Structure 1
Amino acid sequence: MAERVETLEKRLGLVFSRREVALEALTHKTYVNESRDKDLKDNQRLEFLGDSVVNLAVSHRLMDRFPGVSEGDLTKMRARVVNEDGLARVARSIPLGDLLLLGRGELQSGGREKNSVLADALEAVFAAVYLCSGLETAAALVDRCFAELLEEVSSGQGRLDYKTLLQEMAHEKLKLSPRYRVVSEAGPEHSKVFEVELTLGDAPLARASGRSKKEAEQSAAQATLERLKREAAATPEAGGEAPAAPTPEVPPGDTSA
């Protein structure tokens, strides 16, 4: 346990004054469920706090970089940085996955590489940094760890891709994050076709295929955007906005793009 925290300290370039809090940030709920240690805590409460810490730090940096940008555009820019994909990307850069305490089932299902697990753990780690060293240290760590993502937003990269557009709409209108899951792979190794399912909350909304996972995800995101817009247009009381909640019915084999 101590070695995990020490390794995390080395990778982050800081020291935790309360190592039990750092260990809590690395502990997944499945590990606690399987442990006999009744005093062990999972990282869900820290993840809740860390979400606010990261959002505050990123919001501050965006306001500094773009003094003339409106609140609405700043919100969209923040959504391009602080989302499950972005958080998981930062977690991998530390790297964080090999330090996590996971239950046996989660380990066997590839939990160390799951975007959702990595994103939640990263937010928990930032909460631990905040609790041990304060907001200034946490914000400085955000500057360092999110530098590449912030630079991409600053230079305008990714403004037109469907995954980004869907992330913005889902975050702003539904308070949900899209999740992508590979449901099948077909064809020879050099020419595979991937089928991806996209869900919002518990609702599967689209499936799409592509020559790469990214291509399939883009197509699924495009199909979902078009579907949400159709549903919004068909609901007069929505005033042209996205529906309050997505409907779960997905036509079998839907690969519309």
Structure 2
Amino acid sequence: MAKIKTVIIDDEPKAIEVLKRYCDDMEIIEVEATFRDPVKAIEFIQHSPVNLILLDINMPKLSGLEFLDILNAKPKIIFTTAYPQFALNSYDYDAVDYLLKPIDFQRFLKAVIKAQKIIDAENELKKKTPTEAQNNKTIYIKSGPQLYKINVEDILYLEKDGNYLLFHTVDKKILSRQNMKDIFEILDPKDFIRVHKSYVVAIRHINVIEAHQLRMGNVKIPVGRNFREGLLEITGRGNK
């Protein structure tokens, strides 16, 4: 099992010392570098990708949240801070965990193990092509710090919600920070089609196609003018 390549970013030397000591006591984690200045950390991470960042929030020059807004590559994040008021903001950055100082080792260990599970699951998913994922009939959808394993055939449709996608399945809804344009990297375009700038639907679950909408059971989904022709062709209704 590969170790979790980690960077520690905190303006307090004692905080870095504690986190570094905790990491040294664990076999699954390897500290690549530590930084008191988040600006210097940006350049390092862009040239030396890591799996995990242990990140303080309240720092001079650049806060932890501002740091993440600038960073292009997005490793997994565990916030390590003395400020509980930023906990809600951490969900916008898909943080694995939010640890309040002083951090005890047991709580730190739990957060790192959670990060390891997410990283391992995503690495396994990356090894699969879209076709392989379809053949296995399951995919993993990340929602905040959690990964949901869902059956592809249970997906009804996807709905754009700001910077997120809402996966509507037969038994639940899952909100995931993903782009609509990238969704066909995990879903087979033979089985799913975009019918609107805000909707992708599972072809197998379409019941009725009308002039400007389609129906899936009791759910009505708009069909954009620019997508209607493609919908009719893929469902075998074009020119009929």
TM-score by length of 1: 0.26
More strand by share: 2
RCO (CA 8 Å, sep 6+): is it higher in 1 or 2?
A: 1
Higher CA-based Rg: 2
More helix by share: 1
